[in-house]
Amino acid sequence: MSLPAGVLRGGLLPEPLIFERSTPGRTGADCDPHEVGGPAPDAVLPAALRRDDGLVGLPEVSELDVVRHFTRLSQWNLSAATTLYPLGSCTMKYNPLVNEALVRAPGFADLHPLLPDAWAQGTLELMDRLADFLRTVSGLPAISLQPAAGAHGELTGMKMVRAYHEDRGDPRNRVLIPASAHGTNPASAALCGYTVTELPANQAGILEVATVREHLGPDVAAMMVTNPNTIGLFERDIQAIAEAVHAAGALLYCDGANMNALLGVAKPGDMGADVLQFNLHKTFSTPHGGGGPGAGPVAVSARLEPYLPTPRLVRDADGLRWSEDFPKSIGRVRSFHGNVGILVRAYCYLRALGGDGLVDVTAMAVLNANYVRARLADVLPLAFPTPSLHECVFSDRELEATGVRTLDLAKRLLDYGFFAPTIYFPLVVPGAIMIEPTETESKQTLDEFIAAVRAIVAEADTAPELVKEAPHSTFIGRLDETRAARRPILRWQPAAAK
């Protein structure tokens, strides 16, 4: 432990690793192994197959120890429930608590995935209705709910792209991706055996159809586009791009990471998309969980429908059932049926809001982002002056003289009680500061945030060291990431093992 126990700092208590709280012989929960008789392990497992180390390395603590430990740890986090979390591209909106209550109902939580379909009709019905909602929102005719996260949806989508071309006897090997794309796009394409060509945007931050045409060729399997792009700008040429891509025999992949800007505004299917992955933890409010679990359903155009992962949900006279009878399918992308617990929450959200509520989501998300943009544009330069939708991206180029960089501004924001925006992404903007306030933030909160950013920009002039050494009020100071990477310590080990 790095501080003497009992020293309160900013209302928070220090806490060692759970392993360092151990007392030999203590346990927080137990079970009588003899309850139903049966043989002892050594009677049925040969010594060479038995574990004989007494599970060394696991903690030995009481239930109250565990409660205190994880309660204290949780208090060291800022979260969307604590404060504005303007992490661009991540859509950190409010996660309705009712959804958390509903998903824990035993009828959903205790359902085994291999029960006969007739015994799981409630969950199947929910999944089918969710699929309908998502088809309508995407403007695409078919969907799989299987992928576990956005990047998993990308992988699934690109596997379908590959299956489509191979099925036509025209395997292709290259994918076009704008330079501003998330890293998951090129990584997913590479996992499907494609090489990647990066395309630049124009001076306004927009991808031009001429650029796309220039790079298209008979070896191009697909173009992957995020719309609105990662700068929050709507790709106005998208329909022409789709046309060019299709004319070259390639497919259009739309990354749905920014769907929060499109509800009731534009449907990817109408833009010409052949594949779209949703990020339910972004657009449809399921909690981000400190990094998942999310869900990444994939909607596709008619020409890709035969390749959707199996099993697929089909309806017949007896109700809904799973079918494997799709010979062109790419197969499974995970075990069982998806992150169903996340699907239940997303369904609750969609059902509660309805079509009218979803339109309001995007309208207010766009208003909030443009409000922040308008109120900060005089103190921070915009990456592009082009009209933007649900997020706004600034650069740190005017701070250069003060020596304060984007990283410092982000750290100083923590002192003001806000989580930091996404920084240094997209890579095409030097010192990028990407702010996505989302629709659930009030004007008061936005005003406080705006005031904080303006105050920090002023501090950069008057007291640059204050900003460069931030954060000052957090539980722990700026951390040495270099040291962590040079000599990685990735686990706690019992003293004897070190």
Partner 1 sequence: MQIPETLRYSEEHEWVLVDDGVATIGITDHAQEELGDIVFVELPAIGAELAKAATLGVVESVKAVSDVYAPIGGTVTAVNGALADKPETINEDPYGAGWLVKVAVADPGELDGLMTAAQYRDFLAGGKA
Partner 2 sequence: MRYTPHTAAEIDVMLRAVGAASVDALLAHVPEGLRQRASLASLPRGIDERALRTELASLAARNRTEALTFLGAGAYPHFIPAAVEQLAGRAEFATAYTPYQPEVSQGTLQATFEFQSAVAALTGMEVANAGMYDGATAAAEAVLMTQRLRPNRPLVLLARALHPHYREVIATYLTGIADIESVEVPYGADGRTVLPAAELLRRASCLVLGYPNVFGVVEDLTRAAAAAHAEDCLLVSATGEALALAALRTPGAAGVDIAIAEGQSLGLPLAYGGPGLGLFASRERFVRSLPGRLVGETVDARGERGYVLTLATREQHIRRERATSNICTNQGLCAVQVVVYLSLLGRRGLANVAERNLRGAHALAERLRGIGTLRFSGPYFNEFVLSIDGARRRWQRALAAGVVAGLPLGDWYPELEDALLLCATELHDAAAMERLAAALANDLPPAASRTEGHS
Q: Give me the residues that bind partner 1 (CB under 8 A), please.
A: 424, 481-482, 485-486
**b/e for 420-437, b at 16 or more Cβ within 10 A?**
bbbbbbbebbebbbbbbb
Q: Between 67 and 461, name the residue whose CB sits nearer to partner 2.
A: 67
Applying CB under 8 A, which of residues 76, 314, 458, 465 lies at the interface with partner 2?
A: 76
Residue 5 binds which entry of partner 2, partner 1, none, CB below 5-8 Å type-dependent: none
Decide if residue 302 touches partner 2 (CB under 8 A). no
Among 176, 251, 330, 404, binds partner 2 (CB under 8 A): 330
Q: Is 128 an interacting residue with respect to partner 2 (CB under 8 A)?
A: no
Q: What is the largest CA-CA distance in the chain?
A: 77
List Cβ<8 Å contacts ≥24 apart for 121-126. 121/319, 121/320, 123/340, 123/344, 124/313, 124/319, 124/320, 124/321, 125/320, 126/343, 126/344, 126/347
- Burial environment of residue 253 by CB neighbours within 10 A (0 to 12, 13 to 18, 19 or more): buried
**491 φ, ψ (degrees, to nearest 5):** -160, 155
Nearer Cβ to partner 1 (72/483): 483
Among 130, 131, 142, 154, binds partner 2 (CB under 8 A): 154
In sequence order, the 6+-apart residues with CB closer than 8 A to the CB of 258 are 89, 226, 227, 228, 229, 230, 232, 389, 390, 391
Q: Which stretch in 212-220, 329-337, 395-403, 456-464 sits in contact with partner 2 by CB under 8 A?
A: 329-337
* Torsion angles phi and psi, residue 242, rounded to 5: -60, -45
Element (H, E) at 244: helix 238-247
Min CB(486)–partner 1 separation in Å: 5
Judged by CB under 8 A, the stretch of 68-76, 210-218, 299-307, 391-399 that binds partner 2 is 68-76
Among the residue ranges 207-215, 290-298, 395-403, 454-462, the one whose residues contact partner 2 (CB under 8 A): 290-298
Q: Is 244 in the site for partner 2 (CB under 8 A)?
A: no
Minimum Å distance from CB 398 to partner 2? Answer: 21
**Whole-angstrom distance, CA of residue 369 vs CA of residue 367:** 6
**Which one of 169, 491, 496, 498 is in contact with partner 2 (CB under 8 A)?**
491
Nearer to partner 2, 48 or 401 (CB): 48
- Subset of 338-397 contacting partner 2 (CB under 8 A): 338-342, 344, 348, 350-361, 363-364, 366-368, 370-371, 373-375, 387, 389
The number of beta carbons lying within 10 Å of the beta carbon of residue 198 is 13
Q: Is 168 in the site for partner 2 (CB under 8 A)?
A: no
Q: Are strands 251-255 and 174-178 parallel, antiparallel or unpaired?
A: unpaired
